[in-house]
Amino acid sequence: MLKKALLFIPLLFEIMDAHIFIYNCYSTNNHTYINGRLIVEKEIKSNSNDSILKNIIQKARLLFHSELKNQKVIAKLNSTLYTTKSDDEGYFSFEINATSNLIFLSTEGSNSIEVSPIQYKQPKIGVISDFDDTLIVSNVPKKLKLLLNTLTKNYKQRSLVTKIANRVKEILSQNPKAPFIVVSGSPYQLYLPIKNFLNYHNFPPAIIVLKQFHGNNKDPKNQFKYKVQKIEQLFLQFPSTKWHLFGDSGEKDRDIYQYLKQKYPNRVLSYSIRELK
């Protein structure tokens, strides 16, 4: 086993091109929101028959990206340029009072990409959902099972929470212009497995809000404070939208959603909590 593991070690350090990685890009109410990271990309490919060892190595490669810090990032909307800088962990974001069907993003170097934002035109209904143990079986309260699920399985090998997934899809199918937003306490390094899992199970395109664990701009450790902060930001970004909220009993979702329902009674249509055994 050790000899086999040593053969895979070079994969941990296989470096592709430095590039602009976009987490979310969407427009609503004449505003455009973009967040991403400047990183050295490492190619990740998953199959349903991948071994435990391969999955662990793939996750390690995701968790230990090399960031490009303090670099200028330029966004071009229509003919106007907007600039920002990546932080000490390579993260960057834009909030621009303009919209466009196509955005050009570039850095001080030779990197450049084109992005088409998801367009939301004053949606009336939206869905905000937790991820672990709400849409995917993770066993968060049982830390060993959580670790095994996260590290030893890829997105094609993970189990869907069918009942909640079907309800979320039902609401979204009845409201085809509704935003679907996943707010999770997982780190941004796990963005790709989360996005791939949602795509694999035929969810509509999602805005995926994750936690920045390190650096000068890291998010609050407290789960209640973190999620309330992120969801209130979404309430501001979608001022005319009323929300269905989905979560589970494993952490603080019930307390968070009760608080939001009490504070914003006209913005929260319903909340559903999956009870964990």
Residue 101: is its pLDDT beyond 60? yes
Domain co-membership, 115 together with 153: no
Q: For residue 163, what are its two tokens?
A: 């009942």
Q: Look up residue 18 and give its two tokens.
A: 């430095």
- Is the distance from CB of 21 to CB of 38 less than 8 angstroms? yes
7 with 52, same domain? yes
Contact criterion met (CB below 8 Å) for 98 and 81: no
Picking from 42, 2, 45, the residue whose alpha carbon sits closest to that of residue 19 is 42
Residue 182: name the closest of 196, 195, 193 by CA. 195
Give me the pLDDT at residue 118, please.
95
| The domain boundary residue, chosen from 120, 141, 169 | 120
Give me the CATH number covering residue 228: 3.40.50
Q: Name the helix (H) or strand (E) containing 272.
A: strand 268-274
Output the pTM of the full model.
0.87
Domain termination site, one of 67, 97, 120: 120
The pLDDT, as a whole number, for residue 43 is 59
Q: What is the mean pLDDT of residues 211-229?
A: 92
Summarize the confidence of residues 152-166 as an average pLDDT. 90
What is the pLDDT, as a whole number, of residue 151? 77
Please indicate, yes or no, whether residues 133 and 268 belong to a single structural domain of this protein: yes
Residue 210: pLDDT over 90: yes
Task: Give yes or no for a contact between 23 and 36, defined as CB atoms under 8 angstroms apart.
Answer: yes
Residue 14 has pLDDT above 70, yes or no: no
pLDDT above 50 for 11: no
Q: Indicate if 18 and 106 belong to the same structural domain.
A: yes
The parent domain of residue 186 ranges over 125-274
26-78 pLDDT tens trace: 999 899 999 999 987 655 677 777 787 776 767 666 666 678 889 999 999 99
Residues 131 and 161 in one domain: yes
CA-based R_g, the chain, Å: 19
The last residue of a domain, from among 120, 149, 168: 120
75 contacts 82 by C-beta, under 8 angstroms: yes
Domain count, the chain: 2
Closest CA to 68 of 215, 218, 219: 215
Mean pLDDT of 90-100: 95
**Whether residue 138 is found in the same domain as residue 244:** yes
For residue 190, what is the DSSP state?
G
Same domain (yes/no): 16, 150: no
